[in-house]
Amino acid sequence: MKKMIAVFAVLLSTSICANAEILGFIYQKAITPGDGYTTIPAAKTGIATCQSYFGIVGVGDCSVQKAMKNGKIKQLGGYDVYRKNILGYQIIKTQAWGN
């Protein structure tokens, strides 16, 4: 009975989080799209990076504004967020494009 309740709880939690961010505690490599895509062509690209160490210390600036500044972008066309996690060490890169 306890095993059945545990399985039900896991299935319920995964169905609730189906639209949430992809999580991988041991390993994760995922690309998630940003919000607000436009028809502006991708003439310029900028990347911003930050890192997290075991969820305790986080350093860097991986904001869309920093990626726009690094790519000298004035009009944002869109952005993607790349996440890679290996045993608690996580690298997050935001790639923005536009004019």
Amino acid letter, 2: K
Whether 41 is covered by a domain: the verdict is yes
Query: 39 falls in which pLDDT band (50, 70, 90)?
Result: confident
Specify whether the CB–CB gap between 96 and 62 falls below 8 A.
Answer: no
Whether 16 is covered by a domain: the verdict is no
Per the structure block, which two tokens stand in for 86?
């290996």
Give the largest CA-CA distance in the chain: 59
The tally of domains found in the chain comes to 1
Query: 50 falls in which pLDDT band (50, 70, 90)?
Result: very high
Q: Provide the whole-model pTM.
A: 0.69
> Which three-class secondary structure state does DSSP give residue 71?
coil
Whether 50 is covered by a domain: the verdict is yes
List C-alpha distances in Å: 5 to 9, 16, 31, 52, 98. Answer: 6, 16, 32, 34, 49
Whether 54 is covered by a domain: the verdict is yes
Domain containing residue 36: 23-98
Whether 67 is covered by a domain: the verdict is yes
